[in-house]
């Protein structure tokens, strides 16, 4: 039985799951799969509560409420009071982990009588692109400190989603397929360009985040409309940062206003709102439907433009992309947005549902399964890429290779994640790939590299393929194979 617990962490929620045998099981706590990272500490009892209801209180700066959790844990001076003690904010996480542990033991306990409830639980973590590397480390270190066995492997959510979609049949014929995944679980819109070599070997080769573009277009526009309406009259906010923060605070109110606009037959509705810096003053806002709908149209178009920009910045064209995958409620539930993305190829568009979101977690189990037992991976229907299998090398790896010290004709085996290449030195730190396995850099490619360090990410410079420059490339994983052949 597989005892592993997989946790996906975003800026304001986390979700978890297990796969004891062949079926993935999401962990639901208090009837919630997406567990909000908003907290309230009762000052009288020091008891900790968490849930979505505390988002509003945190955004309104109510005392004893905590949000923006992944950023807050980086502040060594930020504490909450438990009885007479000042406790680091990261300790708020323990109440969630305790609930997850109880559900974990309940699920696995029903499947086996040999489960040891005191044994350390193996955990694999995935972090959203919205979470900084520093926050990831603090989060992982804390789980390690409270007794979890934290996997040090880096898992990229976009790659895990692709593996899961291949496994469940929503994606097929993966050889040499390039897909773009647009994810909007939160306020930001995250793009990933994923190269699929086969159904068990995928690699993200480009990524970009567009701030505040992940919110539903109507909610985004209405929130900004209200903030600008008030600020034009009151001049309370002067900087871009202040306006952006207040707009984010208005997302919650804008959801209700959008519902009112849908049910009210008048061409406008009157609402009241305030700013965080002046909560006591209510301001009347007139939401004009025609103006808002026009702005929504422009906003949707700007979302389409982000797709164009992402492809251009990653040196790709629309025709290079085989599939466009949208995941996140704000992307998949907007008919206008579906039409906008359809102009890049309606047949390429794939909308993910809640089950597919859980596939991000399941992808970790698939990745480990394929690495440990390659024969269990889905088999491609056709073989049309010039890939040569490289036998597993011995464990006698180099710790560092300075390529200027290599003789012409010297070959190196270079591997990261589950990819590997064998490259021949042409002189002056220039190499040509003579064999490859699961790698984006393929046989015949040339590249330059000065130094290779085992355990560090290499930087392959000025990659040339058939006389065309592909630029530089840094893999997602550190070198786990470095050997002179």
Which sequence spans correspond to the domains of the chain? 5-150, 159-213+297-362, 217-292, 400-484
Tokens describing residue 148: 């979890």
Report pLDDT digits (tens) over 385-422: 344 444 444 446 788 898 988 988 899 999 998 788 99
Tell whether the model's pLDDT for residue 261 goes beyond 80. yes
Name the CATH superfamily housing domain 5-150: ATPase, nucleotide binding domain (3.30.420.40)
- Helix orientation angle between 93-109 and 133-145, rounded to the nearest 10 degrees: 60
Whole-angstrom distance, CA of residue 315 vs CA of residue 472:
12
Contact 290, 297 (CB under 8 A): no
Which H or E element spans position 265?
none
Whole-angstrom distance, CA of residue 481 vs CA of residue 471:
23
Please state whether beta strands 460-465 and 446-448 pair in parallel, antiparallel, or not at all (unpaired).
antiparallel
- Helix orientation angle between 354-372 and 157-167, rounded to the nearest 10 degrees: 90
- What pLDDT shows up at residue 376? 62
Contact 403, 425 (CB under 8 A): yes
Mean pLDDT value across the chain: 90
| Of 398, 419, 418, residue with least CA distance to 410 | 398
Identify the sign of the CA torsion 368, 374, 375, 380: positive
Please state whether beta strands 201-210 and 349-351 pair in parallel, antiparallel, or not at all (unpaired).
unpaired
Q: What angle do CA 395, 398, 403 make, to 5 degrees?
A: 145
Contact 292, 262 (CB under 8 A): no
Report pLDDT digits (tens) over 122-170: 999 999 999 999 999 999 999 999 999 999 888 999 999 999 999 988 9
**Do 5-150 and 159-213+297-362 agree at the fold level?**
yes
Tell whether the model's pLDDT for residue 379 goes beyond 80. no
pTM: 0.76
- Mapped onto helix, strand or coil, the DSSP state of residue 148 is coil
Query: Domain 159-213+297-362 is in which class?
Result: alpha beta
- What pLDDT shows up at residue 98? 96
């Amino acid at each position: 039985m597989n005892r592993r617990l997989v946790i996906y962490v975003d800026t304001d929620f986390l979700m978890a799951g297990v796969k004891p045998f062949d079926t993935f099981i999401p962990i639901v706590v208090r009837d919630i799969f997406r567990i909000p990272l908003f907290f309230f500490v009762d000052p009288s009892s020091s008891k900790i509560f968490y849930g979505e209801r505390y988002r509003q209180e945190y955004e309104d700066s109510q005392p004893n409420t905590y949000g923006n959790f992944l950023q807050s844990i980086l502040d060594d001076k930020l504490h909450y009071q438990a009885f007479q003690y000042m406790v680091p904010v990261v300790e708020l996480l323990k109440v969630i982990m305790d609930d997850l542990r109880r559900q974990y033991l309940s699920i696995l306990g029903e499947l086996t009588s040999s489960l040891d409830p005191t044994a350390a639980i193996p955990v694999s973590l995935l972090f959203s692109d919205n979470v900084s590397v520093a926050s990831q480390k603090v989060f992982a270190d804390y789980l390690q400190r409270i007794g979890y066995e934290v996997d040090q492997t880096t898992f990229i959510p976009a790659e895990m989603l692709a593996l899961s979609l291949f496994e469940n049949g929503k994606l097929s014929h993966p050889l040499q397929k390039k897909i773009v995944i647009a994810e909007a679980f939160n306020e930001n819109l995250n793009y990933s360009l994923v190269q699929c070599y086969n159904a068990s070997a995928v690699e993200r080769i480009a990524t970009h985040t567009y701030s505040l573009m992940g919110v539903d277009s109507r909610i985004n526009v209405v929130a900004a409309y209200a903030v600008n309406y008030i600020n034009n009259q009151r001049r309370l906010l002067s900087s871009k940062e202040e306006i952006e923060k207040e707009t984010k605070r208005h997302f919650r109110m804008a959801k209700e206003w959008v519902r009112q606009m849908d049910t009210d037959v008048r061409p406008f509705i009157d609402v009241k709102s305030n700013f965080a810096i002046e909560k006591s003053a209510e301001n009347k806002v007139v939401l004009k439907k025609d103006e808002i709908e026009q702005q929504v149209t422009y906003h949707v178009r700007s979302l389409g433009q982000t797709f164009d920009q992402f492809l251009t910045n990653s040196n790709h064209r629309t025709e290079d992309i085989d599939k466009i995958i949208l995941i996140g409620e704000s992307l998949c539930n907007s008919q206008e947005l579906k039409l906008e993305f359809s102009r890049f190829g309606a047949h390429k568009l794939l909308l993910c549902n809640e089950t597919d979101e859980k596939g991000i977690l399941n992808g970790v189990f698939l990745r480990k399964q394929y690495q440990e037992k390659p024969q269990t991976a889905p088999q491609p229907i056709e073989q049309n890429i010039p890939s040569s299998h490289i036998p597993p090398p011995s464990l006698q790896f180099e710790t560092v290779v300075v390529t200027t010290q290599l003789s012409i004709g010297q070959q190196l085996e270079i591997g990261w994640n589950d990819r590997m290449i064998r490259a021949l030195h042409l002189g002056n730190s220039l190499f040509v790939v003579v064999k490859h396995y699961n790698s984006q850099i393929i046989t015949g490619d040339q590249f330059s590299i000065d130094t290779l360090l085992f355990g560090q990410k290499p930087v392959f410079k000025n990659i040339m393929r058939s006389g065309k420059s592909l630029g530089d490339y840094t893999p997602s994983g550190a070198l786990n194979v470095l050997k002179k052949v």
